[in-house]
Amino acid sequence: MTSRAVSAICLSLLLALSGCGDPVRHVVGAGAGGPVPAASGTPAPTGPEPTSAPKPEPTPSSPPRPVRPTPPPPPKLRPLPKQLPADLRRNTGVRAVALTFDDGPSPAWTPQLLDQLRAAHVTATFCVVGVQVKRHPQLVARIVREGHQLCNHSWRHDMDLGRRPLAEIRADLVRTNRAIQAAAPGAKVPFFRQPGGRWTGEEIPVARQLGMRPLHWSVDPQDWARPAPPVITKRVTTTVRAGAVVLMHDGGGNRASTMAACRFLIPELKRRYGVTRLR
C-alpha cells in the first residue's frame, strides 16, 4: 500500500468520526450567511412567539334593587242604603229656620258671608272641612268668636266616608275635631254632616260616640253647581217651610252666586220665619 493510499484512508476515518460524534446539524442562517447550529429534533422558530390576549377587566355589578311588597287591596266599601237613616236632623223643631253653610272655611267667601250674617244679626252653622280648617284657622276662630256654630264635615270631604271601615270613620272625625280645637280651643262641635248626604247607618253611632248628632237638611238649592243668583233664590224661597234646615256653601269653589243670593235670602228668611241657632 502506498503512502498516498494510507493518507486517504486516514482522512476518511477522521471525517467519519467528526460527523457521527456531533449531534448538531448545520442549517443555513438567513442573517449571517453561515451555518447556524440547531437542536436536533426541534423545529426552528418561524416568527415571534404568540402572546395570549389580555382577559377583560370584570365590571362591578350593581346591587339588586329591593323588591317592594305589594300593598294589600283596599277594603271593599259597604253599599249605600236605599233610604236615608231615620234619625237625621232635618228641621229646627220651631218655626224659625236654620242656615247651614258647607265646605269652608274659604278666605275668598267665608269673610263675606260672616259680614252679611253680622249685618242681619243672625247666626248660622258652618260645616267645616278639616283640611280647610288647618289652612285657615283664623277663619274658624272668627266663626266661633262671632257666635256661630261648628259642624264636622270630614277631613277631606270624603263622599264615601260612611261606607268605609268603622275605624277609618272614627279616625277621620277625630282628626277633623282636633284641627278645629287647634284653631278655636274649647269650641263645641255638636254636629256632623256626611259629605253629599251619603249617609250610612254605621257612621251615625260613631259620630254620636264622639258627641256629635247627624245633621242633614230639608232645603237644597244645589248652589254647589253655581247656578245664577236668581235661580238659587227661587229654589230656596219656593221650597222653604217653617222649621227648615237650609243648605248652602261658602267653600268648595267659586261661591259668588251664593254670596249674591244670600244678600236677599238672609234678610228675607229672617222676615218670613226668623233664623234660629240649631239646638
* pLDDT single digits (tens) 128-179: 999 999 999 999 999 999 999 999 999 999 999 999 999 999 999 999 999 9
CATH of the domain at 146: 3.20.20.370
Residue 123: inside a domain: yes
Residue 82: inside a domain: no
Print the domain residue range for 186: 98-272
What total of structural domains would you count in the chain? 1
Q: Is the pLDDT of residue 11 over 50?
A: yes
* pLDDT single digits (tens) 232-275: 999 999 999 999 999 999 999 999 999 999 999 999 999 999 99
Residue 134: inside a domain: yes
- pLDDT confidence of residue 23: 41
Q: Is the pLDDT of residue 98 over 60?
A: yes
Q: How far apart are CA 268 and CA 30, in angstroms?
A: 127
Residue 61: inside a domain: no
Q: Is the pLDDT of residue 116 over 70?
A: yes
More confident residue, 12 or 142: 142
Question: Roughly how many angstroms between the first and final C-alpha of the chain, as a whole number?
Answer: 165
Q: Which has the closest alpha carbon to 83: 176, 201, 205, 171? A: 201
Catalytic amino acids?
102, 249
Q: Is the pLDDT of residue 16 over 90?
A: no
Residue 67: inside a domain: no
Q: Nearest-5° angle of CA 187, CA 275, CA 159? A: 60
